[in-house]
Amino acid sequence: MSNPLLEKFDAPFETAPFDKIKNEHFLPAVQEGIAQGKADVDKVVNNPDPATFENTIEALDKAGTLINRVSSIFFNLNSAETNDEIQALAQEISPLLSQYSNDISLNEALFQRIKTVYEQMDSLDLSPEQQTLLSKTYKGFSRNGANLDEEAKEKLRNLDMELSKTSLLFGENVLKETNAFELVVENEEDLAGLPQGVKDAAKMTAEQKEKEGWVFTLDYPSYVPFMMYAENRELRKELFMAFASRAFKDNEFNNEANVQNIVALREERAKLLGYNAHSDFVLEERMAGSAERVFSFLDDLLVKAKPVAEQELETLKAYAQEQGHEGELARWDASLYTEKLKKEKFSIDDETLKPYFKLENVVNGVFEVANRLFNLSFTQRNDIPVYHEEVTTYEVKDNNGRHIGVFYADFFPREGKRAGAWMTSYRSQNKTGAEEQRPHVSIVCNFTKPTEDKPSLLTFNEVTTLFHEFGHALHGLLADTTYEGLSGTSVYWDFVELPSQVLENWCYEPECLALFATHYETGEPIPQEFIQKIKDSANFMEGMATLRQLSFGKLDMAWHSLPADDKISVSDFEKKAMEEASLMSSIEGVNMSCAFSHIFQGGYSSGYYSYKWAEVLDADAFAYFQEKGIFNEEVAESFQKNILSAGGSEHPMTLYKRFRGQEPTVDALLKRAGLA
């Protein structure tokens, strides 16, 4: 059988041949990729020459090209365009990849060659990037079992295989629960308060599902506006309960056992490797460094944010009562009254702003920001294969016409796509001699779809989401390192959010909004008074928003730093972990952990705090831009050179200080958030 994944990619820029790939191609391609990867490693191990940086560390970084490419295509599809067949394949492929990874990391002869080079580091004439790669390679092996005896290595293999399967199952359950629910509204009176655009989208969903009336789902573009605007409290509660109880019901998709298993397996793995807890293992290779420092960081912010949040909640409760709300303010009421109060206080809300944020205009706007800061241009291509008709592709060039990379954009929710927004990569940048491989990156979002009479109009929050993910994309696109293992977003996890979060700041600046915020019907630019209101309302309910993020960070750290205990229920454990940072009463029947894909399926275990950690960096970094001008060429060039292009070539604090001239302080974040 001809297999496009095993042939030379002949699409423009050697992009993935999505137009030719069928599901049956993946398993043979993975098997062949693993075989080639093992052969690459065998060449390193069996090299008769003494171990050197070039024939061992550098050669290992270039090993496994095919399997890296095939697996990135497969798992990106499993997130953005999956189906039952792909999910079944994932359960088959994941253990193979775990075994392949362990075959490399537990290869005693290979580790001895790496160790030999590592012990000579001080006498070798290595560049900072080479030193980083050598240290990262050695630590990667020593931290993942290379020093274990054979019995312990076998145990580690089994743990990793079990972990990969359980994490996949966790994600599949969340997706199935999300897709299984729909709120069908047949009486138009029950839609009171909802903007016309939201109703139109729900009507279109109903038609697609061949239902009468209006259908609301648990996808963010459907769920969020319903919670913000729907006057019908019972329906808000029904939708909230469905969303907040995903994978926590008494059915086949319940994730309680998966959560307990993942936590226990991670702890067992950490202890096998000589650590007290999973968080100790993870944080050894993070800027924060230790669980103690993360807890201290979260607690410090909690002390500053909680009094502000408590006052905000009292204000919200009083306002709700003024509006005729009776009884306790429940979690399914908060968004409604927050949005009403925001509109009353600032004379602005999402519906006022959305006409100025047509998706295509915002995309062009973020491209223009990239051009002004980093001299990049984006040209749409119709000859690059895509995995779904809604995906758009662009060639990225610099102002000299040099090819920088390929950018994929996938913006709308559908059944085969998981919730949320993320950036991913199909091919990383690296150099071999005079040859350079440029990157292929993608951002995947879940924005409101266009309807028959309206284009896709974004909320301001969706605008910042697009800028956020595009910041990650720039980190990948502008990569300029020699080694793939250090390229682009291959950085410490609590540093990776800096490029994404810093770019969000441009959304609040008049100079930036003037580039793209025009009314989709009249072409009129967004009024200056609206821009001022966006800035004025930026910190609205920031205390409560901060507490929410801190509660997630504390939950993550609790799961991964406390001893695993299957005698305590997932629900009770969660309540205790989040209690200190929670303001509103807990609700029976809902659970965050069972759908917390960031930490149980994604890579954020012991790392959710990094969003707040990176906010300290991004507030400090943007203060520098504000000081010199948000499109200042000198600052932008330094940010590109020392942050975006440098990837993980040196320690992140070294790179940050080279850009900023100093270490960041929390002051800029507290000032921006109104918590100082």
CA distance 182 to 217: 5
**For residues 265 and 75, what is the distance between their CA atoms, to the nearest angstrom?**
22
469 classed as catalytic: yes
pLDDT, tens digit (0-9, with 9 covering 90-100), for 242-272: 999 999 999 999 999 999 999 999 999 999 9
Q: How many CB atoms are located within 10 Å of the residue 197 CB?
A: 19
- pLDDT in the model for residue 672: 87
Alpha helices, DSSP H, located in 181-232: 196-208, 220-229
Residues 6+ apart with CB under 8 A from 537: 342, 345, 346, 348
pLDDT tens, residue by residue, 168-210: 999 999 999 999 999 999 999 999 999 999 999 999 999 999 9
Alpha-carbon distance 480 to 469, whole Å?
20
Mean pLDDT of the chain: 96
311 in the same domain as 420: no
Residue 602 pLDDT: 86
What is residue 230's three-state secondary structure? coil
Q: Do the domain assignments include residue 614?
A: no
> Using one digit for the tens of pLDDT, what is the confidence trace for 382-392?
999 999 999 99
Of 576, 606, 636, the residue that ends a domain is: 606
Q: Is the pLDDT of residue 566 over 90?
A: no
Shared-domain flag, residues 233 and 294: no
Q: Which of 140, 143, 142, 133 is nearest to 53 (CA)?
A: 133
**In this predicted structure, what is the pLDDT of residue 674?**
86
Which of 536, 553, 579 lies at the terminal end of a domain, its last residue? 536
Could you tell me if 385 and 497 lie in one domain?
Answer: yes
Give domain status of residue 175, yes or no. no
CA distance 646 to 495: 12
Q: State pLDDT tens for residues 280-293.
A: 999 999 999 999 99
Neighbours of 134 (CB within 10 A): 21
484 pLDDT tier (thresholds 50, 70, 90): very high
Please give the single-letter amino acid code of residue 515: L
Residues 441 and 301 in one domain: no
Predicted local confidence at residue 452, as pLDDT: 85
Average pLDDT of 120-147? 96
Residue 676 has pLDDT above 80, yes or no: no
Pick from 577, 573, 580, 653: nearest CA to 614? 653
Residue-wise pLDDT tens digits, 357-407: 999 999 999 999 999 999 999 999 999 999 999 999 999 999 999 999 999
CA-wise closest residue to 556 among 615, 594, 596, 498: 596
- Whole-angstrom Cα distance, residue 202 to residue 211? 11
Residue 269 shares a structural domain with residue 323: yes
Among 478, 505, 536, the domain-final residue is 536
Residues 292 and 403 in one domain: no
Do 521 and 445 have their domain in common?
Answer: yes
**Rounded Cα–Cα distance for residues 444 and 439 (Å):** 16
DSSP 438: P
- Is 446 within 8 Å of 219 (Cβ atoms)? yes
Active-site entry in 267, 339, 351, 469: 469
Examine residue 628 and state whether it is found in any structural domain, yes or no: no
Is the CB of residue 448 less than 8 Å from the CB of residue 457?
yes
Is 390 in contact with 411 (CB distance < 8 Å)?
yes
Residue 659 covered by a domain = no
Strand locations in 289-413 (E): 376-381, 392-398, 403-410
Task: Assess if residue 270 is contained within a domain.
Answer: yes
Question: Which pLDDT does position 585 carry in this prediction?
Answer: 87
Q: Which CATH number do you get for residue 47?
A: 1.20.1050.40
Residue 442 CA to its chain's centroid (Å): 12
pLDDT band at 601 (very low <50, low <70, confident <90, very high): very high
Res. 451 pLDDT band, cuts 50 70 90:
confident
Between strands 376-381 and 183-185, the pairing is unpaired
In 10 A of CB 230, how many CB atoms? 24
Q: How many domains does the chain have?
A: 4
- Does the pLDDT of residue 1 top 80, yes or no? no
**Residue 505 in tokens:** 């700041």
Residue type present at position 612: K
Instruction: State whether 396 and 531 are in the same domain.
Output: yes
Give the relative orientation of helices 497-504 and 460-477 as an angle to the nearest 10 degrees: 140
What is the SS3 assignment for 183-196? EEECCHHHHCCCCH
Gap between the Cα atoms of 66 and 26, Å rounded: 12
Q: Give the pLDDT confidence of 632-650 residue by residue, as tens digits.
A: 999 999 999 999 999 999 9
Residue 497, in any domain of the structure: yes
Same domain, 521 and 575: no
Mean pLDDT to the nearest integer, 20-47? 98
Tell me, what's the pLDDT at 631? Answer: 98
Domain assignment present for residue 641? The answer is no
> What percentage of the chain has pLDDT greater than the value 70?
100
Secondary structure class of 427 (helix, strand, coil):
strand
CA distance 336 to 318: 14
Structural domain contains residue 424: yes
The whole domain housing 31 covers 4-105+107-147
Q: What is the mean pLDDT of residues 305-311?
A: 96
Residue 359, domain CATH: 1.10.1370.40
Cα 49-106-127 angle, rounded to 5 deg = 55
Pair 61, 187 in one domain? no
CA distance 328 to 67: 55
Contacts of 213 (CB under 8 A, 6+ apart): 184, 185, 186, 187, 203, 206
Residue with tokens 């016409």: 401
Same domain for 522 and 490, yes or no, is: yes
**Are the C-beta atoms of residues 508 and 534 closer than 8 Å to each other?**
yes
Q: Are residues 555 and 599 in the same domain?
A: yes
521-565: pLDDT as tens digits: 999 999 999 999 999 998 999 999 999 999 999 999 999 999 988
Give CA separation, 290 vs 279, 294, 362, 397, in Å.
8, 6, 39, 41
